[in-house]
Chain A
């Protein structure tokens, strides 16, 4: 045990990250045993990752919101409203001008969604930053208002079917296939290795302390291993033969004997990975990110250092809004329709994911990868219980208890480590 600790210390990995991965491993192990080996399978991991994407994308934005000592209760309702509006745009409005199935429909729709998200988010941020109305109140109002607005768009009717290309962004219908999944996996691996050694070179150039070389290799190896196993697992999930047959029939061809196809990386998961990388860069390597954390740590100090904290609040909520729009794209595309209850209770899932991922409500502390893992932990619990056949009310109880327990563990951990 002590040896393990010293290895971890040499690797300089975040202990909280280890804790979350351990929690995930326990959850997966238990459900795998209880379901008789159905849980940790390519099919279920594929489904888990697709179901996690929307909430995880929003959770990365919630990290910034909570780090700056705010909260956003409106994300689920805003997702519903943007989802409905995007549904109308692609299914009712654009086809009138462009014709059904026009290749620009999904582009215009997604762009309109992102614009709405950023503008509505910025508006809430303005109310909070400049008019100094507490975020809790502004976004509680937003929760009610956007949900009502979502109903108004169609007077409560569900919009379906959605544009065929748009639906690719959501789930099982839109995957990269085996070849391109490996291309993405290999590029990501190369990037990870390059980052590890580039950072080492910079530190050496400044004559700073660096980890032993074996530790750098071990870390790079772990990154590559995780990326490649993830791709391999998703590639191992095979498209049903009947579905491949139908694809060939649609093209007027006959399916070759014995052909199999793996799904590979879903587009929605690719979007999540891209969002995670970009948000991590923003958090760690840009002035904006630095100011977000400084403001969360000490708003007065940030202000006295010349940081415009009011405008910063607008930016943070605009980013949150944009990510809600991406969440709305993924969620509605996955379902293939837009209903006015889309995203109900998502605000709580998103906040819980960020908090389980180590974001402190007192501000100043949080990581993007933590929030994504937090979302995965929540979804793993929920899917697992659904698979085992736990009643819905009991599922809620368990998730609620886990949330409170996770935060308590986090408090104890912080007190122990003095951070």
Chain B
């Protein structure tokens, strides 16, 4: 795994909002077929970090490398061009549109004459949903009338459909019941087996222990450390999150 270059590498990322240094010199990487958990308290800077990768925010400084090559990501379109797909914490769905329209938002299928082809999009949406969530049947209503789990399926389908190589999932199970959470967990395993790299932001330490290969822990915008899951315990991770204490060096982060 370590012989090839990382799928994506974020080096020395910095961003500040006014005086608030939300992400402070953070470096993480991600290999194909790997799930890296991003952990930390509310406001630690997890979402902000990955939003710089998905093109929603512009870093003040820092480099992003995809397959070992430096890239500039200035907007969500750039990120998608590098096969980076994001499932946002706030489920970026247009509530007034149906599932297929949301799935293809910004990348609509069109007819030869250039008009949007709703029928083809619905047909494609049915296909991918049959694979991800066979219980999903409601293709004609606006997504506002769907359940949290169904909406989550739409958001995930959107990322998976377009052949993501790098998948960012910001708390994908926060709004879900146990059954749907299991569904997402299975899906993560499946995508990982297909060779995708996944950044998984999650507050549930057990879930991270189960699903991830490595974990990166942030506190107050800084990186506490990156550890292999196989080499740490639940308590080690909690110590990193709460105290900023590195399990191997025992060092406690300032601030």
**Docked complex: A303-325 residues within 8 A CB-CB of B:** 303-307
A-B contact pairs, 19 of them (CB 8 A): A202-B119, A206-B120, A281-B115, A287-B108, A289-B116, A290-B116, A296-B96, A298-B95, A300-B92, A301-B105, A302-B105, A304-B54, A305-B76, A305-B106, A306-B75, A306-B76, A306-B77, A306-B80, A364-B95
Expressed in whole angstroms, the minimum distance between the Cβ of A282 and any Cβ of chain B is 10
Are A305 and B105 closer than 8 Å at their CB atoms?
yes
Known: A301-B105, A305-B76, A305-B105. A287 touches B116 (CB 8 A): yes
* Residue A214 CB within 8 A of the other chain: no
Q: Which of B76, B101, B123 is in CB contact (< 8 Å) with A303?
A: B76
User: What separation, in Å, do the CA atoms of A293 and B142 have in the docked complex?
Assistant: 12
Q: Which of B94, B115, B145 is in CB contact (< 8 Å) with A302?
A: B94
Interface of A toward B, CB cutoff 8 Å = 202-203, 205-206, 208, 281, 285-287, 289-291, 293-298, 300-307, 364-365, 418-419
Expressed in whole angstroms, the minimum distance between the Cβ of B172 and any Cβ of chain A is 15
The total of Cβ contacts below 8 Å across the A-B interface reads: 81
Expressed in whole angstroms, the minimum distance between the Cβ of B72 and any Cβ of chain A is 16
Other A-B contacts than A293-B94, A301-B93, A301-B105, 4 sampled, CB-CB below 8 A, are A206-B122, A208-B122, A208-B123, A302-B94
Are B119 and A206 closer than 8 Å at their CB atoms?
yes
- CB closest residue in chain A, given B111: A285
**Docked complex: B118-158 residues within 8 A CB-CB of A:** 119-120, 122-123, 142, 145
Q: Which of B101, B110, B114, B119 is in CB contact (< 8 Å) with A203?
A: B119
Most buried by B among A286, A293, A301, A418: A301
| B119 / chain A contacts, CB cutoff of 8 Å | 202-203, 205-206, 208
| B94 / chain A contacts, CB cutoff of 8 Å | 293-295, 297-298, 301-302, 364
| B122 / chain A contacts, CB cutoff of 8 Å | 206, 208
Q: Which of B54, B56, B96, B145 is in CB contact (< 8 Å) with A293?
A: B96
| B76 / chain A contacts, CB cutoff of 8 Å | 303-306
* Residue B88 CB within 8 A of the other chain: yes
User: What separation, in Å, do the CA atoms of A304 and B168 have in the docked complex?
Assistant: 13
- CB closest residue in chain A, given B115: A285
User: What separation, in Å, do the CA atoms of A304 and B101 have in the docked complex?
Assistant: 15
Are A304 and B110 closer than 8 Å at their CB atoms?
no
User: What separation, in Å, do the CA atoms of A287 and B80 have in the docked complex?
Assistant: 18
| A364 / chain B contacts, CB cutoff of 8 Å | 94-96
| B114 / chain A contacts, CB cutoff of 8 Å | 286
Interface SS majority for chain A: helix
* Residue B191 CB within 8 A of the other chain: no
Chain B, interface size category, equals 20 to 34
User: What separation, in Å, do the CA atoms of A294 and B108 have in the docked complex?
Assistant: 12
| A286 / chain B contacts, CB cutoff of 8 Å | 114-116
Known: A285-B115, A304-B86, A306-B80. A298 touches B110 (CB 8 A): no
Contact with A along B10-37 (1 / 0, CB 8 A): 0000000000000000000000000000
Expressed in whole angstroms, the minimum distance between the Cβ of B111 and any Cβ of chain A is 9
Q: Which of B75, B105, B142 is in CB contact (< 8 Å) with A290?
A: B105
- CB closest residue in chain A, given B75: A306
Are A290 and B80 closer than 8 Å at their CB atoms?
no
Expressed in whole angstroms, the minimum distance between the Cβ of A208 and any Cβ of chain B is 7
Are A297 and B92 closer than 8 Å at their CB atoms?
no
* Residue B42 CB within 8 A of the other chain: no
User: What separation, in Å, do the CA atoms of A293 and B118 have in the docked complex?
Assistant: 15
| A294 / chain B contacts, CB cutoff of 8 Å | 94, 96-97, 101, 105
* Residue B90 CB within 8 A of the other chain: yes
- CB closest residue in chain B, given A202: B119
- CB closest residue in chain B, given A207: B123
Known: A208-B122, A290-B116, A305-B106. A297 touches B96 (CB 8 A): yes
User: What separation, in Å, do the CA atoms of A339 and B90 have in the docked complex?
Assistant: 52
Are A298 and B108 closer than 8 Å at their CB atoms?
no
User: What separation, in Å, do the CA atoms of A296 and B115 have in the docked complex?
Assistant: 20
User: What separation, in Å, do the CA atoms of A208 and B119 have in the docked complex?
Assistant: 9
| B88 / chain A contacts, CB cutoff of 8 Å | 304
User: What separation, in Å, do the CA atoms of A202 and B118 have in the docked complex?
Assistant: 10
Are B123 and A419 closer than 8 Å at their CB atoms?
no
| B106 / chain A contacts, CB cutoff of 8 Å | 291, 305-307
Are B110 and A305 closer than 8 Å at their CB atoms?
no
| A305 / chain B contacts, CB cutoff of 8 Å | 76, 92, 105-106
- CB closest residue in chain B, given A417: B145
User: What separation, in Å, do the CA atoms of A296 and B105 have in the docked complex?
Assistant: 13
| B95 / chain A contacts, CB cutoff of 8 Å | 297-298, 364
Contact with A along B226-241 (1 / 0, CB 8 A): 0000000000000000
